[in-house]
Amino acid sequence: MVLEIPGATHLHSGKVRDLYEYGDHLLMVASDRISAYDFSLEPGIPDKGEILTRMSLWWFEQLADIVPNHVISTDVPEQVAGRALIVERLDMFPVECVVRGYLTGSGLADYAASGHVCGVPLPRGLVDGSRLPEPIFTPATKAEIGDHDQNITFDHVVDTIGAEDAAALRDLSIQVYRRAEEIARERGILLADTKFEFGRRPDGTIVLADEVLTPDSSRFWPADAWEPGRSQPSFDKQFVRDWLTSPESGWDRDIESAPPRLPDAIVEKTRERYLEAYERLTGRSW
């Protein structure tokens, strides 16, 4: 939803966030919108935008010794207070820097078909939810609106942005994932995989951008329910998915009609899950 924000010019809206030009900088606004099964759902989850903004900010701080980030200020216009960040405007690399520590989703599909993910060979016998021997860099292209991201090989990244930058993005992504995975695991959350975006300052410095390590850019699994060989419950969206696919919702996933409106109880339980993720990770109370 495009807001009238003094001093801000709307540039772009994604499924969940809206981007504005803000003087020389950008204003990244996180809404309460939630998506599942590629549909944007109604209603939003109260406070989700603020919870995820604070979570992302907290992660940027935990990672600052590994890589600089694009955050300039949280001093944002009143009407988006708490759920927006003023960030440096960077020249973005056209690569979704995905790291996987566990196998699922499109990684699992590629592995089942070829034994590889993005050109990385993996051992035999892995199943849905298996922990990988080492985290792997599995880049993707940024999809056009409405399309899915396309997995690509590291060599493809080299062809796109050159060997030096490709290696830098891969190494930074893996380092950041390792740090984050360890922090999350200590707090009972498995960081199955995640997506980073990097950009470059005019002086050439590579900077971590976008949102980081939120449930919208990552798969969070409750560690105590992890059981390879089946699809893992999602830390944040499980109530939503379970309800949507239950007879109660009356929704048929196969006909491509919009899902029904979420009941209040599902919205409230989902909000509590986001709060729980925030509080567990950061150790701060909301």
- Tell me which residues touch ligand ATP (CB under 6 A): 12, 14-17, 19, 26, 70, 87-90, 92, 197, 199, 209-210
Specify the residue, 17 or 273, whose C-beta has the smaller distance to ligand ATP: 17
Q: Which residue has the tokens 């880049």?
A: 139
Specify the residue, 44 or 222, whose C-beta has the smaller distance to ligand ATP: 44
Closest of 32, 24, 34, 28 to residue 10, by C-alpha: 28
Alpha carbons 269 and 45: distance in angstroms, whole number:
10
Specify the residue, 22 or 137, whose C-beta has the smaller distance to ligand ATP: 22
219 bridge partner residues = 193
Q: Which phi and psi (to 5°) does residue 183 adopt?
A: -60, -45
| Closest distance of CB 216 from ligand ATP, Å | 8
Rg of the chain on CA atoms, in Å = 19
| Closest distance of CB 8 from ligand ATP, Å | 14
206 bridge partner residues = 200
| Closest distance of CB 176 from ligand ATP, Å | 15
Q: Which two tokens stand for residue 48?
A: 């989700």
Specify the residue, 88 or 128, whose C-beta has the smaller distance to ligand ATP: 88
Give the CB-nearest residue to ligand ATP: 14
**Kind plus residue range of the DSSP H or E element containing 205:** none
Give the single-character DSSP code of 200.
E
Contact 181, 220 (CB under 8 A): no
Specify the residue, 52 or 120, whose C-beta has the smaller distance to ligand ATP: 52
